Amino acid sequence: MSNIFLRVGKKIRLYRKARKLTQEELGELLQIDYSYLGRIERGEVNITIETLNKIANALNIAPSQLLEEDKKSNDKLKTDILEKIDTTLLSLSTKELEVLHRLIKEAIVLKEL
């Protein structure tokens, strides 16, 4: 299949795992068989926009997040690190994210001194 199917499938898997859902659990939410979800995650099938939207809604993300291309695809290490950070952040509450955002901003200011 096309590279876009692989990319989208990889992102679905990333966000599913960040939400601590199994393929079976997400499949139940979507009312699709978990084996079909596995094929989607491996980029083996061409899904409809409607299915993409249902998956995004079940994962509490915007559909565009599943379609975004990594800006620096040639920088694999940076991409991997950003994905790990993204996965970690998804499990935090809004209040925890606000605190973390302030800390990051303060760290960047200190770095610039």
Long-range contacts of 35-40 (CB under 8 A, 24+ apart): 37/12, 40/8, 40/9, 40/12
- Using the predicted structure, report yes or no on whether residue 112 has a pLDDT greater than 90: no
Give the pLDDT confidence of 25-73 residue by residue, as tens digits: 999 999 999 999 999 999 999 999 999 999 999 999 999 999 987 655 5
Give the pLDDT confidence of 81-99 residue by residue, as tens digits: 888 888 888 888 999 999 9
